[in-house]
Amino acid sequence: MDDERYGQAIRSVTQFWVWTVPVLFLVLVLLGLTMRANQAGIINVDPDLFYAVMTLHGLGMAGTGFVAGLAGVTYLLARYVRVNLVIAWMMYVLTVLGVVGLVIACLIGRFGPGWYLLYPLPFLANGAWPDWALGLAVLSLIVLGVAWLLGQIDLSRALVARYGLTNALAWQYFSKQSADRVEIPPIVLITAAACLVPGIATTLDGAVLLVLYLFKWFSPSLALDPLLLKNMVFLWGHTLVNITMYLGLAMVYELLPKYSGRPWKTNAVVALSWNTVLVLVLLAFFHHLYMDFAQPVSLQYIGQLASYLSAVPATVVTVFGVIGQVYRSGMQWRFVPLCFCLGIVGWVIGGFAAVVDSTITVNFAFHNTMWVPAHFHTYFLVGYFLMLWGFLYEFSGAAREKLAKAGLWLVVAGAYGFLLMFYLGGAFGVPRRFAAYGSIPLASLAAISERTALIASAFAVLLVIGLLVLFGVIYRGLANRAFAGKAAATTP
């Protein structure tokens, strides 16, 4: 297959993702709004449905973010490497199947143990969800895991086949003189550093966890260790979310120079930074277990150390890299670079709030309060996803800059207002994952919980309006391009 045909083929697969992701995201945002509105007392959702919605929202957002990033990076890497198209299509089809299974399990079966399926809650539903919903959810997650594992393995294979393992990880920058070096584009290095070791390792960890759950589903008497499984689930979930972030950054590294007009190349510092991340990302998840005092204290310290140190390469290389791209470049603030740079700002703010919470003594006051959703919603909603919307806009060929920017500013205003309420809630000790606050015996805490949820709901409506505008522009661009393509194809 020649380059042009491969380019068209990978574009077709990516197009399916670009049509699907905004719809999925919007539905998941509406589920989030439903939860905040229920916490505010505006609507009244039964607790079993609330927690099922919470589970679908969490699993859906993490999964959508990751798979959209993987698909986007695979498309951008087409300039350098070729993936197996059968696997690329399989990843799409299996993901759709897995999502359908999860939607049925959660919304019809009321499966609601939270995204993290913390053992042994999925197996002790107390009548909240039937056995079939548990089985369907676990099988759907296994299907998703298989799809994403295949995608990552194939992408890694393609990178290693073209560049070699050590070159893809840019180790040559540590030893060889520039004349002898094969230039490694940053997108190749980041994808290799994110997918090759942490991505595949944690997806395998997730697979082992889910297979154990499947065994337990078949044989309920099987006893598993709750602390070990808690470590496994956070290694999987935490790392997956971090890798998603890196996939977003890979898109920025690849596309921002197109707008700034400045090169952004790999050098020894960039190589060292991303190779350090490769190790640190696998160790930071211990900070999720700080309040498990039975966990060895040395692992708790490693959690804080890894969380702190991971901020060093991230800010020193990537943030200063972006500053180097933008500062006095004379760049026009078109929609795509605006999305990328706002995304970087959101990532840094959310990242700082995360580092604050990764301090054990601070976590003692913040653990499982609203501070936790505050920081991860920041680096997702106004961090990673803004980078993704930049890529989607670029891919769609949309040309409604003013309208797209109006949508973007509505998203940013709505999102930051929404997030501020999470942060305030966290500072006041408002518990996370509460269906409603009426049963909190402390009147002052119940009041601040409901008020922040009410204001957050209003901002979330603003966010939804902004998203509708933004996605409308992207869809119109896609439709125009599809129409133009068809017209071109039928024109003799």
Site for other proteins in 261-320 (CB under 8 A): 261-263, 291-294, 297, 300-301, 304-305, 308-309, 311-312, 315-316, 320
Q: Does 89 bind other proteins (CB under 8 A)?
A: no
Q: 369 phi and psi, to 5 degrees?
A: -100, 180
Q: Is the dihedral of CA 166, 171, 172, 173 positive or negative?
A: positive
Of 74 and 304, which CB lies nearer to other proteins in the complex structure? 304
| Min CB(61)–other proteins separation in Å | 16
Of 263 and 492, which CB lies nearer to other proteins in the complex structure? 263
| Min CB(420)–other proteins separation in Å | 9
How far apart, in whole angstroms, are the C-alpha atoms of residue 342 and residue 328?
Answer: 17
**Interface with other proteins in residues 152-211 (CB under 8 A):** none
Q: Please name the residue that has the structure tokens 């929404």.
A: 418
Residues in the chain: 492
By CB atoms closer than 10 A (0-12, 13-18, 19+), residue 416 is: middle
| Min CB(468)–other proteins separation in Å | 26
Contact (CB, 8 A) for 139 and 243: no
Q: Is 369 helix (H, G, I), strand (E, B) or coil?
A: strand
| Min CB(311)–other proteins separation in Å | 7
Q: Which of 84, 276, 329, 480 touches other proteins by CB under 8 A?
A: 329
Of 151 and 426, which CB lies nearer to other proteins in the complex structure? 426
| Min CB(194)–other proteins separation in Å | 22
| Min CB(442)–other proteins separation in Å | 5
Kindly indicate which of the ranges 151-159, 214-222, 256-264, 379-387 contains the residues binding other proteins, using the contact rule CB under 8 A.
256-264
**Interface with other proteins in residues 333-362 (CB under 8 A):** 333, 341, 344-345, 348-349, 352-353, 356-357, 359-362
Q: 431 phi and psi, to 5 degrees?
A: -70, 145
Binding mask 368-407 for other proteins (x = CB under 8 A): xx-x------------------------------------
Q: Which of 125, 299, 406, 454 touches other proteins by CB under 8 A?
A: 125
Q: Which residues contact 477 (CB under 8 A, 6 or more apart)?
A: 393, 396, 397, 398, 399, 400
Site size toward other proteins (CB under 8 A) is: 83
What Rg, from alpha-carbon coordinates, does the chain have?
22
**Interface with other proteins in residues 36-75 (CB under 8 A):** 47-48, 51
Token pair for 349: 């703010």
Q: Which helix (H) or strand (E) holds 444?
A: helix 443-490
Of 16 and 115, which CB lies nearer to other proteins in the complex structure? 115
Of 30 and 427, which CB lies nearer to other proteins in the complex structure? 427
Q: State the maximum Cα–Cα separation within the chain, in Å, rounded to a whole number.
A: 75
**Interface with other proteins in residues 209-248 (CB under 8 A):** 225-227, 230
Q: Which residues contact 447 (CB under 8 A, 6 or more apart)?
A: none
- CA proximity to 426, closest of 474, 472, 490, 362: 362
